[in-house]
Amino acid sequence: MKFILGKKIGMTQVFNQDNQVVPVTLIEAGPCFVVQIKTKEKDGYSAVQIGFDKLNDKKIKKSQKSKAFRYLKEFSQNGLKIDDEINISAFNPGEIVNITGISKGKGFQGVIKRYGFAGMPASHGTKHTERAPGSIGSAFPERVFKGKKMGGRMGSDKITIQGLEIARVDEKNNLLAVKGAVPGRKGTLLEIIVIKEIEAVKEEKEGKLIADLEKQEADAEKKKDAK
């Protein structure tokens, strides 16, 4: 499993091989460094802790390496060693990734923006309650049920977008261009995990192509038999 940390830069667009416009999100990914290896014997679970966004270049004691990075995250992975570098050279266009980040905070919002309520009718005597939620309870048991959709804080939630495709890899500038949108504002920390490597993507595309060709041949034979 390949993974890396990055920062959201913003959205732009690129042209693919068919000269079609593709919306992409630019991410400054890595380099990340392995700070700590956690084991079942010592910590109760196996994981690797990586650091991203170095704060300074000063020499730091081995026991204080975690303080040299702005961000620290853990991933379940074996085979890495302390001080190993993780960069985007291992990533390839066409690979499928899951990206996790904190969504934009929108403050206190009403039910229309928060949950998509329709609101009250705009005519027939409605006054000052066009965006009201309506009734929130009943005569019995004379209380508001837990989980009732009402106004409240919106956004700032941990969200994972699954199945995004890497469109471009710029090793020189540590940039990844990913098709579609990812959570958060500019500068949001993102966790990027490859769920389908390029070999698996190619095999899947070849399998679909073969299946489509077989279906076309079967349809053509059916038409011949019908005639």
Does 146 fall in a domain?
yes
- Residue where a domain stops, chosen among 154, 187, 212: 154
The more confidently predicted of residues 65 and 79 is 79
- SS3 state of residue 30: coil
Position 59 scores a pLDDT of 62
pLDDT of residue 108: 96
180 has a pLDDT exceeding 80: yes
In a domain, 210, yes or no: yes
> pTM higher than 0.85, yes or no?
no
Q: What is the mean pLDDT of residues 47-65?
A: 74
Domain count, the chain: 2
Q: What per-residue confidence (pLDDT) applies to 58?
A: 60
Pairing of strands 107-109, 158-170: unpaired
Q: Tell me which of 60 and 207 has the higher pLDDT.
A: 207
Q: Which range marks the domain in which residue 139 is found?
A: 106-154
Given this model, what pLDDT does residue 186 score? 94
- Reply yes or no on whether the pLDDT at 27 is more than 90: yes
Which domain-ending residue is among 119, 134, 154? 154
In a domain, 97, yes or no: no
* Residue 185, pLDDT score: 94
pLDDT for 39: 87
Give me the mean pLDDT over the 84-112 stretch: 93
Q: Does some domain include residue 149? A: yes
Domain stop point among 119, 136, 154 = 154
Q: Is residue 111 part of a domain?
A: yes
In a domain, 43, yes or no: no
Buried b (16+ CB within 10 A) or exposed e, 28-59: bbbbbbbbebeeeeeeeeebbbbbbbeeeeee
Question: Higher-confidence residue: 207 or 57?
Answer: 207
Question: Residue 20 domain-assigned?
Answer: no
The token pair at 173 is: 């500038």
Does 61 reside within a domain?
Answer: no
CATH number of the structural domain spanning residue 130: 4.10.960.10
